[in-house]
Amino acid sequence: MNKWNEETVVSEAVRAEDGLWMHEPSKTPQLLNPVVLAYMGDAVFEMMVRQFLIAQANHKPNHLHKQATRYVSAKAQRQLLERWAPLLTEEEADIVRRGRNTKSGTPPKNADPADYRQATALECLVGYLYYGRQVERLRELMTVAFETNEG
């Protein structure tokens, strides 16, 4: 195999391993603003919930939406963060504190402000793990969410 082919094979393997990562953030996850981490974490969390729901039997849109709200509402995310708390490393707990203490805007009218802050903290952690490419850790934590919220 010539040099170009070897580089192509390695490059394709790296791309396949990267999954949906297309653009690196401008800073390391540790230096990103917690609101930015939460912004990405919100999308990643929702995608993981949707993947889980689509893996289940009932694919009716109304059912999918109803089930998704069991995971993605501010109250549900606060409750999930409480279940995750004993499992978090010191570094993860620090990211959660940063996310909870950040000014992230006005909470939605239907969300309790305290729940909204905790939901932002959870999303901040998910964004941090995502950008840190800690996919296996994300899977571990999401498994807890799905085990305790099925039915």
Q: Which residues are catalytic?
A: 42
Q: How far from each other are the two terminal CA atoms of the chain, in whole angstroms? A: 53
Angle between helices 135-149 and 74-84 (to 10 degrees): 110
Sign of the alpha-carbon torsion through 148, 43, 37, 137: positive
SS (H, E, C) 20-88: CCCCCCCCCHHHCCHHHHHHHHHHHHHHHHHHHHHCCCCCCHHHHHHHHHHHHCHHHHHHHHHHHHHHC
